[in-house]
Structure 1
Amino acid sequence: MARNNTTSADYRSSKIKSKIAWAIAIFFACIMLVLTLTPFFFMIMNSFRKQFDMLQQGVFHLPHPWYFDNYINVVKNGFFGYFLRSVIVVGISLVLMLIISAFAAYPLSRMNFKLNPLIYATIVAMMSVPMHVTLIPIFKLTTAIGFYDSLKALIGPYVAFALPMSVFILTAFMKTIPKEIEESAEIDGCNRYQNFFKIILPLSKSGLSTLAIYNGVAMWNEFAFANTLLITPAKKTLPLALGQFKGEHSLDIPIILAVLTLSVLPMIILFIIFQDKLVKGMMAGAVKG
């Protein structure tokens, strides 16, 4: 009888501790939610004001009246041109980055050869190189090969600086795939190429999706290389669009906030659509590892 009472007391104590832990977790999650959403709320709300309404009405009051002309002016002044160029650059860069990363990660993760540790260590070491120290060499290189002031000038740096982290993550991810799967396929007559394309690559979809989302956001928001390698307004990408809408003699903050809202909206929508793949990719590596 005493043992049952002890078990019941332990159960009630454990349940109370669990409720307290959940309450604390929810409390801090709510704080993080407020801290995360406040900048977006500020940005979206003030993008519907006239130029000087922020000074007259206050930045955290609802706009009165709601001013939609900011978005109309942004669209009329070539926003979709900047948007399309960013889509082209990011799309091509991501495809190339994923293909090269997969081809590099497969032998590093599944094959044993003498140079494997050295190559892998070199790739990991490249992660420590700050991308901005290469601005001048890349500027000279793109000028020498005739790529300066074209979208082609951005694809090379974007792919190159995304590769070390991508190969590192994808190599670790592929190592978690059981080798018995490949061995069974080899018994059935599959060679290395068939193993890669029919087994390893499909099983790595969640990892590839994670890399695509992670690097896609970084490429979409990249400013330094775009500002250095592009000069013609008709060739500039979305991060450089702010200079077009800042105003000639004064800073029109609401219209800049409208540009920022339209700029981040595609990434938010894509993240909402593919968030399950991102979580699965991150969790798959954690659980299998």
Structure 2
Amino acid sequence: MAWGIAIFFACIWLVVTLVPFVFMVMNSFRKQFDMLSQGVFHLPDPWYFQNYAEVMTHGFFGYFFRSVFVVAVSLVLMLMISAFAAYPLSRMKFRLRGITYAGIVAMMSVPMHVTLIPIFKMTTNMGLYDSLQALIGPYVTFALPMSVFILTAFMTTIPKEIEESAEIDGCNKFRNFFSIILPLSKSGLSTLAIYNGVSMWNEFAFANTLLQTASNKTLPLALGQFKGEHSLDIPIILSVLVLSVLPMIVLFIIFQDKLVKGMMAGAVKG
């Protein structure tokens, strides 16, 4: 009975999430006239690939690679800082440890967009406005509390006996961290990379506020650019959406086992 209820709600969730995606993909291969005349859930006849050709020849790859740069740099910095912070919080006892951890957890409740105006002022004063570097700082900063929280919980599950055996063999804390803890934390790090990578990839508010010129805009802002140029051409916009979400879907499929393992560790020990 319980399994039947679970399967029922899983099917509802699948339909709710899959129908918009199917709508998006199907209509991205159609002409505007065909979509309106044949119905939005009619199979493309014929399949029209010119939408994707037009998107790719109108600057899509520029938006794409700028987003890749911002997300890649932000993730590397975020993972490094999170690992360095989570290691002492999970493996060592020191004064103010509890207060430090409580402060990090409390920062998870601060809405990211509350600081939009102060960050705009800071980037303007620092001369970073309208540059990709302006996005990296906010992305890293607001990803850190949740990342440190999850990674601390994950590192806590690593048996201390492994580290103690290494210390007997002459390893110090620094070497233990890089040789033992980090390799054993790959699942947790992968979880953080996917979770935060999707958020950074789709982030719009800060990108729209801190970037101005078209040559600096990232992929979420490309939707606005194509909407402006093709205000009535819905298949063009859907083609941009398909190309935008495709990298995240591929990464999730590749790393889904590590994502589940990392989230389960955080749930058990958090």
C-alpha separation in 1, matches of 2:89 and 2:181: 13
C-alpha separation in 1, matches of 2:229 and 2:178: 54
RMSD between aligned residues: 1.6
Q: SS of the counterpart of 1:66?
A: coil
Taking a change above 3 Å as real, the CA distance of residues 125 and 22 of structure 1, as seen in their structure-2 partners, is closer
C-alpha separation in 2, matches of 1:159 and 1:288: 24
| Amino acid in the other structure paired with 2:122 | L
Structural mapping, 1:35-114, within 5 Å: 35-114=16-95
Give 1:279's match in structure 2, choosing from 245, 257, 260: 260
Give 1:159's match in structure 2, choosing from 135, 140, 148: 140
* Contact 1:176-1:285 at 8 Å conserved across structures: no
Is 1:28 aligned with 2:28?
no
| Amino acid in the other structure paired with 2:177 | F
C-alpha separation in 1, matches of 2:191 and 2:43: 37
Bigger shift: residues 180-189 or 249-258: 249-258
Bigger shift: residues 81-90 or 33-42: 33-42
Partner residue, 1:138: 119
Is 1:180 aligned with 2:156?
no
Give 1:123's match in structure 2, choosing from 84, 104, 108: 104
Taking a change above 3 Å as real, the CA distance of residues 286 and 229 of structure 1, as seen in their structure-2 partners, is closer
Q: Which runs of 5+ in 1 are unaligned?
A: 1-19
* Contact 2:82-2:144 at 8 Å conserved across structures: yes
TM-score by length of 1: 0.89
Taking a change above 3 Å as real, the CA distance of residues 249 and 175 of structure 1, as seen in their structure-2 partners, is closer
Partner residue, 1:149: 130
C-alpha separation in 1, matches of 2:89 and 2:61: 41
Bigger Rg over Cα: 1
| Amino acid in the other structure paired with 1:148 | Y
Q: Which runs of 5+ in 2 are unaligned?
A: none
Bigger shift: residues 61-70 or 35-44: 61-70
* Contact 2:153-2:265 at 8 Å conserved across structures: no
4+ residue segments displaced more than 6 Å: none
Bigger shift: residues 44-53 or 153-162: 44-53
